[in-house]
Protein backbone atom coordinates (compact mmCIF):
# COMPACT_ATOMS: atom_id res chain seq x y z
CA UNK A 1 0.00 0.00 0.00
CA UNK A 2 1.38 3.37 -0.96
CA UNK A 3 1.14 6.03 1.72
CA UNK A 4 -1.57 8.58 1.04
CA UNK A 5 0.35 11.28 2.87
CA UNK A 6 0.72 14.13 0.39
CA UNK A 7 4.06 15.72 -0.26
CA UNK A 8 3.12 18.67 1.88
CA UNK A 9 5.63 21.37 2.69
CA UNK A 10 3.30 23.57 4.74
CA UNK A 11 4.72 24.18 8.20
CA UNK A 12 2.58 24.29 11.33
CA UNK A 13 4.60 25.92 14.11
CA UNK A 14 1.51 27.11 15.98
CA UNK A 15 0.30 23.51 16.43
CA UNK A 16 3.55 22.32 17.99
CA UNK A 17 4.22 22.24 21.71
CA UNK A 18 7.41 24.20 22.24
CA UNK A 19 9.78 24.29 25.20
CA UNK A 20 12.65 26.75 25.25
CA UNK A 21 15.30 26.74 27.93
CA UNK A 22 17.24 29.90 28.86
CA UNK A 23 20.28 30.74 26.78
CA UNK A 24 22.63 29.97 29.67
CA UNK A 25 21.12 26.47 29.95
CA UNK A 26 21.99 25.78 26.31
CA UNK A 27 25.56 26.89 26.96
CA UNK A 28 25.69 24.66 30.05
CA UNK A 29 24.81 21.63 27.91
CA UNK A 30 27.57 22.40 25.44
CA UNK A 31 30.07 23.12 28.22
CA UNK A 32 29.40 19.83 30.01
CA UNK A 33 29.62 17.89 26.75
CA UNK A 34 32.93 19.59 25.91
CA UNK A 35 34.31 18.85 29.38
CA UNK A 36 33.41 15.16 29.07
CA UNK A 37 34.93 15.01 25.57
CA UNK A 38 38.19 16.44 26.90
CA UNK A 39 38.19 14.16 29.95
CA UNK A 40 37.64 11.03 27.91
CA UNK A 41 40.34 12.13 25.50
CA UNK A 42 40.77 12.38 21.73
CA UNK A 43 40.53 8.65 21.05
CA UNK A 44 39.01 8.08 17.56
CA UNK A 45 37.77 4.62 18.61
CA UNK A 46 35.69 6.11 21.43
CA UNK A 47 34.20 8.80 19.21
CA UNK A 48 33.45 6.35 16.42
CA UNK A 49 31.52 3.80 18.48
CA UNK A 50 30.39 5.71 21.63
CA UNK A 51 30.68 2.34 23.40
CA UNK A 52 33.50 3.16 25.80
CA UNK A 53 32.41 2.37 29.38
CA UNK A 54 34.27 5.38 30.77
CA UNK A 55 32.36 7.70 28.43
CA UNK A 56 29.04 6.06 29.28
CA UNK A 57 29.77 6.30 32.99
CA UNK A 58 30.39 10.05 32.60
CA UNK A 59 27.03 10.42 30.84
CA UNK A 60 25.22 8.44 33.52
CA UNK A 61 26.94 10.16 36.42
CA UNK A 62 26.78 13.74 35.19
CA UNK A 63 23.53 14.34 33.28
CA UNK A 64 21.95 15.40 36.58
CA UNK A 65 24.32 18.39 36.64
CA UNK A 66 22.40 20.01 33.80
CA UNK A 67 20.13 22.92 34.79
CA UNK A 68 16.62 22.15 36.02
CA UNK A 69 15.20 23.94 32.98
CA UNK A 70 16.83 21.32 30.73
CA UNK A 71 15.40 18.41 32.71
CA UNK A 72 11.98 20.03 32.64
CA UNK A 73 12.17 20.52 28.86
CA UNK A 74 13.09 16.89 28.26
CA UNK A 75 9.85 15.50 29.71
CA UNK A 76 7.76 13.37 27.36
CA UNK A 77 5.42 15.43 25.12
CA UNK A 78 2.41 16.64 27.08
CA UNK A 79 -0.22 17.34 24.39
CA UNK A 80 -2.45 15.13 22.24
CA UNK A 81 -0.13 15.93 19.32
CA UNK A 82 2.54 13.80 21.04
CA UNK A 83 5.48 15.86 19.83
CA UNK A 84 7.53 18.73 21.22
CA UNK A 85 10.11 21.11 19.73
CA UNK A 86 12.84 21.84 22.28
CA UNK A 87 15.74 24.19 22.27
CA UNK A 88 17.91 25.36 21.47
CA UNK A 89 21.54 24.31 21.65
CA UNK A 90 24.00 27.04 20.69
CA UNK A 91 25.47 25.85 17.41
CA UNK A 92 27.25 27.44 14.46
CA UNK A 93 27.50 25.98 10.99
CA UNK A 94 31.26 26.56 10.88
CA UNK A 95 31.97 24.18 13.76
CA UNK A 96 30.34 21.21 12.04
CA UNK A 97 32.61 20.67 9.07
CA UNK A 98 30.97 19.20 5.98
CA UNK A 99 27.92 16.93 6.04
CA UNK A 100 29.06 13.29 5.63
CA UNK A 101 27.55 11.25 2.80
CA UNK A 102 26.52 8.29 4.98
CA UNK A 103 26.41 7.13 8.59
CA UNK A 104 29.68 5.20 8.32
CA UNK A 105 31.54 8.31 7.22
CA UNK A 106 29.83 10.32 9.96
CA UNK A 107 30.89 7.80 12.62
CA UNK A 108 34.47 7.64 11.32
CA UNK A 109 34.76 11.41 11.14
CA UNK A 110 33.43 11.90 14.68
CA UNK A 111 36.92 11.19 16.00
CA UNK A 112 38.66 13.39 13.43
CA UNK A 113 38.79 17.04 14.50
CA UNK A 114 39.89 17.99 11.01
CA UNK A 115 36.69 16.62 9.50
CA UNK A 116 33.89 17.09 12.03
CA UNK A 117 35.41 19.17 14.77
CA UNK A 118 32.43 19.09 17.12
CA UNK A 119 30.55 15.96 16.07
CA UNK A 120 31.79 13.90 19.04
CA UNK A 121 31.00 16.69 21.46
CA UNK A 122 27.51 16.96 19.97
CA UNK A 123 27.05 13.19 20.28
CA UNK A 124 27.78 13.58 23.99
CA UNK A 125 25.31 16.46 24.22
CA UNK A 126 22.64 14.29 22.58
CA UNK A 127 23.29 11.48 25.07
CA UNK A 128 23.14 13.86 28.04
CA UNK A 129 19.80 15.22 26.85
CA UNK A 130 18.41 11.77 26.07
CA UNK A 131 19.49 10.59 29.53
CA UNK A 132 17.47 13.44 31.03
CA UNK A 133 14.43 12.03 29.22
CA UNK A 134 14.99 8.33 29.90
CA UNK A 135 17.38 5.55 28.87
CA UNK A 136 19.13 6.01 25.50
CA UNK A 137 19.74 2.81 23.56
CA UNK A 138 20.89 1.58 20.16
CA UNK A 139 20.38 -1.42 17.89
CA UNK A 140 23.12 -3.94 17.17
CA UNK A 141 21.85 -4.26 13.59
CA UNK A 142 21.56 -0.53 12.85
CA UNK A 143 24.51 1.82 12.39
CA UNK A 144 26.76 -0.75 14.10
CA UNK A 145 25.02 -0.37 17.46
CA UNK A 146 25.88 3.32 17.83
CA UNK A 147 23.80 5.08 20.50
CA UNK A 148 23.58 8.28 18.45
CA UNK A 149 22.65 7.75 14.80
CA UNK A 150 23.55 10.19 12.05
CA UNK A 151 20.76 10.86 9.55
CA UNK A 152 22.10 12.21 6.25
CA UNK A 153 21.09 11.77 2.61
CA UNK A 154 23.13 8.98 1.05
CA UNK A 155 23.95 8.42 -2.64
CA UNK A 156 22.15 5.37 -4.02
CA UNK A 157 19.47 5.43 -1.31
CA UNK A 158 17.44 8.39 -2.56
CA UNK A 159 14.21 6.47 -3.17
CA UNK A 160 14.12 3.90 -0.37
CA UNK A 161 12.03 4.02 2.78
CA UNK A 162 14.79 4.78 5.28
CA UNK A 163 16.48 7.71 6.96
CA UNK A 164 19.14 7.70 4.24
CA UNK A 165 16.62 8.61 1.54
CA UNK A 166 15.88 12.06 0.18
CA UNK A 167 13.92 12.30 -3.09
CA UNK A 168 11.18 9.92 -1.93
CA UNK A 169 8.49 10.88 0.54
CA UNK A 170 9.40 9.07 3.75
CA UNK A 171 6.08 7.49 4.70
CA UNK A 172 4.74 8.11 8.20
CA UNK A 173 5.79 5.29 10.47
CA UNK A 174 6.38 4.16 14.01
CA UNK A 175 10.13 3.96 14.56
CA UNK A 176 11.19 0.29 14.54
CA UNK A 177 7.55 -0.81 14.54
CA UNK A 178 8.61 -4.42 13.89
CA UNK A 179 10.05 -4.87 17.40
CA UNK A 180 8.58 -5.05 20.89
CA UNK A 181 11.79 -3.33 22.03
CA UNK A 182 11.11 -0.18 19.97
CA UNK A 183 11.67 3.22 21.58
CA UNK A 184 9.05 4.99 23.66
CA UNK A 185 10.53 8.33 22.66
CA UNK A 186 12.49 9.32 19.59
CA UNK A 187 14.76 12.36 19.75
CA UNK A 188 15.92 14.14 16.60
CA UNK A 189 18.57 16.83 16.94
CA UNK A 190 19.13 19.18 14.03
CA UNK A 191 22.68 20.14 13.11
CA UNK A 192 22.00 21.45 9.61
CA UNK A 193 18.84 21.98 7.55
CA UNK A 194 19.47 24.76 4.99
CA UNK A 195 16.50 23.82 2.80
CA UNK A 196 14.02 23.73 5.72
CA UNK A 197 13.15 20.12 4.99
CA UNK A 198 10.04 19.27 6.97
CA UNK A 199 9.57 16.39 9.38
CA UNK A 200 5.96 15.20 9.42
CA UNK A 201 4.25 14.02 12.60
CA UNK A 202 0.73 12.62 13.10
CA UNK A 203 -0.86 11.56 16.38
CA UNK A 204 -3.28 8.64 16.60
CA UNK A 205 -5.03 10.48 19.42
CA UNK A 206 -6.26 13.09 16.95
CA UNK A 207 -7.79 10.71 14.38
CA UNK A 208 -11.45 9.74 13.98
CA UNK A 209 -12.32 6.04 13.74
CA UNK A 210 -15.66 4.31 14.12
CA UNK A 211 -16.13 1.32 16.40
CA UNK A 212 -15.81 -1.31 13.66
CA UNK A 213 -12.62 0.23 12.26
CA UNK A 214 -11.05 0.43 15.67
CA UNK A 215 -12.02 -3.16 16.49
CA UNK A 216 -10.42 -4.48 13.30
CA UNK A 217 -7.21 -2.50 13.82
CA UNK A 218 -6.92 -3.71 17.41
CA UNK A 219 -6.66 -7.29 16.15
CA UNK A 220 -3.27 -8.82 15.32
CA UNK A 221 -3.72 -9.42 11.59
CA UNK A 222 -0.43 -8.65 9.80
CA UNK A 223 3.29 -8.60 10.58
CA UNK A 224 5.55 -5.58 10.29
CA UNK A 225 8.98 -6.30 8.82
CA UNK A 226 12.26 -4.55 9.71
CA UNK A 227 13.20 -1.70 7.38
CA UNK A 228 16.13 -1.83 4.97
CA UNK A 229 18.52 -0.21 7.45
CA UNK A 230 18.61 -3.62 9.18
CA UNK A 231 19.23 -5.51 5.93
CA UNK A 232 16.84 -7.48 3.74
CA UNK A 233 17.29 -11.12 4.78
CA UNK A 234 14.14 -11.49 6.86
CA UNK A 235 11.50 -14.19 6.36
CA UNK A 236 7.94 -13.11 5.72
CA UNK A 237 6.52 -16.47 6.83
CA UNK A 238 5.98 -17.33 9.59
CA UNK A 239 6.09 -13.74 10.80
CA UNK A 240 4.03 -12.91 13.88
CA UNK A 241 1.05 -10.64 13.25
CA UNK A 242 0.80 -7.51 15.40
CA UNK A 243 -2.04 -5.15 16.25
CA UNK A 244 -2.05 -1.70 14.63
CA UNK A 245 -3.92 -0.07 17.52
CA UNK A 246 -3.50 -0.58 21.24
CA UNK A 247 -4.31 1.29 24.42
CA UNK A 248 -2.43 2.75 27.36
CA UNK A 249 -4.73 3.49 30.28
CA UNK A 250 -7.63 3.68 27.85
CA UNK A 251 -5.91 6.03 25.39
CA UNK A 252 -5.00 4.95 21.87
CA UNK A 253 -1.50 3.84 20.93
CA UNK A 254 -0.19 3.04 17.47
CA UNK A 255 2.15 0.60 15.75
CA UNK A 256 2.22 1.55 12.08
CA UNK A 257 4.58 1.16 9.13
CA UNK A 258 2.72 0.69 5.83
CA UNK A 259 5.91 0.51 3.76
CA UNK A 260 6.90 -2.70 5.60
CA UNK A 261 3.45 -4.22 6.17
CA UNK A 262 2.10 -6.79 3.63
CA UNK A 263 -1.35 -5.20 3.41
CA UNK A 264 -2.18 -7.21 0.28
CA UNK A 265 -2.50 -10.27 2.55
CA UNK A 266 -5.34 -8.76 4.59
CA UNK A 267 -9.06 -9.05 3.95
CA UNK A 268 -10.84 -6.12 2.25
CA UNK A 269 -12.45 -4.90 5.48
CA UNK A 270 -9.11 -4.68 7.26
CA UNK A 271 -7.52 -2.97 4.26
CA UNK A 272 -10.32 -0.40 4.20
CA UNK A 273 -9.89 0.33 7.91
CA UNK A 274 -6.13 0.67 7.50
CA UNK A 275 -6.66 2.98 4.53
CA UNK A 276 -9.03 5.12 6.58
CA UNK A 277 -6.47 5.33 9.39
CA UNK A 278 -3.83 6.41 6.87
CA UNK A 279 -6.14 9.11 5.55
CA UNK A 280 -6.85 10.32 9.06
CA UNK A 281 -3.14 10.45 9.88
CA UNK A 282 -2.72 12.66 6.82
CA UNK A 283 -5.55 14.90 7.95
CA UNK A 284 -4.00 15.56 11.35
CA UNK A 285 -0.43 15.80 10.04
CA UNK A 286 1.79 18.56 11.41
CA UNK A 287 5.01 19.49 9.62
CA UNK A 288 8.02 20.93 11.44
CA UNK A 289 11.21 22.21 9.85
CA UNK A 290 13.89 22.07 12.50
CA UNK A 291 16.60 24.70 12.61
CA UNK A 292 20.17 24.05 13.85
CA UNK A 293 20.25 23.42 17.57
CA UNK A 294 16.58 22.45 17.85
CA UNK A 295 15.37 19.05 19.04
CA UNK A 296 12.20 17.20 18.11
CA UNK A 297 10.94 14.83 20.81
CA UNK A 298 8.39 12.33 19.47
CA UNK A 299 6.21 9.95 21.48
CA UNK A 300 6.82 6.80 19.45
CA UNK A 301 3.88 5.00 21.07
CA UNK A 302 1.43 7.63 19.85
CA UNK A 303 2.93 9.43 16.85
CA UNK A 304 4.10 8.40 13.39
CA UNK A 305 6.74 10.54 11.74
CA UNK A 306 8.07 10.94 8.21
CA UNK A 307 9.83 13.46 5.99
CA UNK A 308 8.94 15.45 2.90
CA UNK A 309 11.09 14.84 -0.21
CA UNK A 310 14.08 17.01 -1.01
CA UNK A 311 16.87 17.07 -3.56
CA UNK A 312 20.30 16.39 -2.04
CA UNK A 313 23.36 18.24 -3.30
CA UNK A 314 26.07 15.97 -1.86
CA UNK A 315 28.33 18.99 -1.57
CA UNK A 316 28.80 18.98 2.20
CA UNK A 317 25.88 21.31 2.97
CA UNK A 318 22.96 18.85 3.10
CA UNK A 319 20.55 18.23 5.98
CA UNK A 320 22.13 16.51 8.96
CA UNK A 321 20.25 15.20 12.00
CA UNK A 322 21.27 13.12 14.99
CA UNK A 323 18.80 10.53 16.27
CA UNK A 324 18.54 8.83 19.65
CA UNK A 325 16.14 6.08 20.75
CA UNK A 326 14.90 6.46 24.33
CA UNK A 327 13.24 3.94 26.63
CA UNK A 328 10.90 5.08 29.41
CA UNK A 329 11.24 2.40 32.12
CA UNK A 330 7.94 3.40 33.74
CA UNK A 331 5.94 2.79 30.56
CA UNK A 332 4.58 -0.66 29.76
CA UNK A 333 3.26 -2.16 26.52
CA UNK A 334 0.70 -4.91 25.92
CA UNK A 335 1.75 -8.22 27.46
CA UNK A 336 1.25 -10.02 24.13
CA UNK A 337 4.37 -8.32 22.75
CA UNK A 338 6.55 -10.32 25.13
CA UNK A 339 6.16 -13.36 22.87
CA UNK A 340 7.68 -11.59 19.85
CA UNK A 341 11.33 -12.12 18.96
CA UNK A 342 11.70 -8.89 16.96
CA UNK A 343 13.27 -10.81 14.04
CA UNK A 344 16.31 -11.45 16.21
CA UNK A 345 17.30 -7.78 16.43
CA UNK A 346 18.93 -6.92 19.74
CA UNK A 347 19.31 -3.62 21.53
CA UNK A 348 22.40 -2.00 23.03
CA UNK A 349 21.25 -0.84 26.48
CA UNK A 350 24.14 0.47 28.61
CA UNK A 351 21.85 2.60 30.79
CA UNK A 352 19.37 -0.12 31.64
CA UNK A 353 19.64 -1.51 35.19
CA UNK A 354 21.49 -4.79 35.29
CA UNK A 355 18.68 -6.41 37.26
CA UNK A 356 16.43 -5.94 34.20
CA UNK A 357 18.98 -7.39 31.81
CA UNK A 358 21.49 -5.52 29.68
CA UNK A 359 21.39 -7.83 26.69
CA UNK A 360 17.80 -7.74 25.48
What pLDDT tens digit does each residue of the chain (360 aa) get? Answer: 333 344 444 455 567 899 999 999 999 999 999 999 999 987 888 999 999 999 999 999 999 999 999 999 999 999 999 999 998 999 999 999 999 999 999 999 987 877 776 899 999 999 999 999 999 999 999 999 999 999 999 998 888 988 888 888 888 999 999 999 999 999 999 999 999 999 999 999 999 999 999 999 999 999 999 988 887 776 655 678 999 999 998 899 999 999 999 999 999 999 999 999 999 999 999 999 999 999 999 999 999 999 999 999 999 999 999 999 999 999 989 888 988 999 989 999 999 874 344 444
Single out the residue of 305, 333, 349 nearest to residue 77, CA to CA. 305
pLDDT at 235: 64
pLDDT at 324: 98
Q: How far is CA 211 from CA 50, 214, 215, 217, 302, in A?
A: 47, 5, 6, 10, 19
| Domains observed in the chain | 13-326 (3.60.130.10)
pLDDT at 227: 87
Contact 173, 287 (CB under 8 A): no
Euclidean distance between CA atoms 319 and 196, whole angstroms: 9
C-alpha count within 13 angstroms, C-beta hemisphere, residue 82: 27
Amino acid sequence: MKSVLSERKTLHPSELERRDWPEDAGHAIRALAAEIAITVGPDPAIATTLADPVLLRHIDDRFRELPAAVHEAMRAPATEAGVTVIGRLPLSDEELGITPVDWREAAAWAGDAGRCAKSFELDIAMLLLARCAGEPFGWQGQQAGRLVNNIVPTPGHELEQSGASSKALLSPHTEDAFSPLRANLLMLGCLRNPDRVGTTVSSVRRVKLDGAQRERLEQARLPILPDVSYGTDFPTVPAPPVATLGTDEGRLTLRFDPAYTPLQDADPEFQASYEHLSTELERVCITAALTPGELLLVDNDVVVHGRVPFTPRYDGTDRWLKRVNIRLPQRRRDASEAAEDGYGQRTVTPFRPIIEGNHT
